[in-house]
Amino acid sequence: INQQVESLAGRHHSRPGAGWVLRALQYYCIAAAKRSIMSDEERGGATAPGVFRWAFNAASWDPTQEEWIKASQCVQPEEKERIGRFMFKLDAKLAMIGRLLLRKAASEMLGIPSSQVRLGRTKRNKPVVLNEIPADSAFANLNINVTHHGRYVLLAADPKYLCGVDIMDVADLPSFSSDVPAFIRDFEKQFTGGEWRAIMEQAEDSLKLEQFYRTWCLKESFIKATGIGLLLELRLLDFQQDPSEFNASRDTGRIEQGTRVRVGERDAVHWRFHVSYVDASHVAAVALGPKEDATKDGSDVIVVSERVAEAMSEEEEAHRRVVFSHLAFADIIDSLTPVPAHEGCDDPGYWTTFCKKRVKTKQQG
């Protein structure tokens, strides 16, 4: 691979951006070769192609000018403009990394350069890949979802099933709240009686807040997977969690899988939920369900199917119980190429605008 890339570099060195593109090609090919000889354990158990669980700590990333410009070159123009309008640096970083992760995942799933990936959003704001995918492709029903809260941006992707992800900082008590009971009481109507009892029976306020966020995280992951968004009354979702796994799942690297949900009067028997901790204070939930339960764009009706064409087998679920891999910025950007609209455009003004953004304080969320 190295010899081929060096040969290409020699022939195309005079073309703008050729060096960066070729280095990205080199990285992508070598990374693919390494993955092909890894054991299941080395891959984090990701034996199903297109099953990704990625985490990035945006709060600890202090981008250089070169990094921020390269990042901006790899997102679509409308997304670059949207990110540029954020008031706070952290919000801009979270949004930028989210778009880069989407492009990286779609590129790897479709086997095309990231510059050819076309992303869009549904009317309910769920990210979708707009590229045409053959109906007989293993990725014909690919689902990609991103989320962020606290320090992290997460991506979860699946080639076959509906996929939603959410993350919460379980220690985050908003500054406008005087104490935990006062804060969570404002949301009581969003929980079923069983969910609320599971929250309030925790011995300490910190555990009440943690259970509150775990359950909220599950609700968000489900509505993001279906694509219905916040139109759904959250109280219609009744999550049953296994109390025996509550403490054990705090260990990063362990995935809780005993959670089930009832939607209205119907058990969502074909849905699977994986709860894990990205670090000691950030809990993540991934929801996986049948494609029949996808909300039609623009609809406000949730569908839970009793019968589906393909129910998830135990083996398939085992291949999807994957811990989140922590990525560095180089892991993301080195596999991406500039979109045509930005190729060869440094845009130093975009960096200047970023530097002028404010640093968010605790009081500002």
Weakest mean pLDDT among 34-38, 81-85, 212-216: 34-38
Q: Model confidence at 298, in pLDDT bands (50, 70, 90)?
A: low
Q: What share of the chain is helix, strand, coil (3-state, %, to 5)?
A: 40, 20, 40
Q: Given the DSSP bridges, would you call strands 119-121 and 127-129 parallel, antiparallel or unpaired? A: antiparallel
| H or E element that contains 365 | none
d(CA 154, CA 134): 28
Residue 11 neighbours by CB distance under 10 Å: 9
What pTM did the predictor assign? 0.85
Q: What percentage of the chain exceeds 90 in pLDDT?
A: 65
Query: Model confidence over 155-166: pLDDT tens digits?
Result: 999 999 999 999
Asked if pLDDT for residue 72 goes beyond 50, the answer is yes
Among 259, 266, 319, 272, residue whose Cα is nearest residue 164? 272
Q: Which pLDDT score, from 0 to 100, does residue 342 have? A: 78
Query: Model confidence over 129-148: pLDDT tens digits?
Result: 999 999 899 999 999 999 99
d(CA 263, CA 267): 6
Asked if pLDDT for residue 247 goes beyond 70, the answer is no
Check residue 247 and give left, alpha or beta (phi > 0: left; psi -120 to 50: alpha): alpha
DSSP annotation string for 186-223: TTGGGS-HHHHHHHHTSSSHHHHHHHHHHHHHHHHHHH
Query: Which tokens sit at 90?
Result: 């952290």
Asked if pLDDT for residue 231 goes beyond 80, the answer is no
**Sheet architecture: strand order including 260-263:** 237-240, 260-263, 266-267
- Asked whether the beta carbons of 222 and 271 are under 8 A apart, the reply is yes
Query: Model confidence over 216-228: pLDDT tens digits?
Result: 999 999 999 998 8
Distance (Å) of CA 15 to CA 26, 113, 344: 17, 18, 10
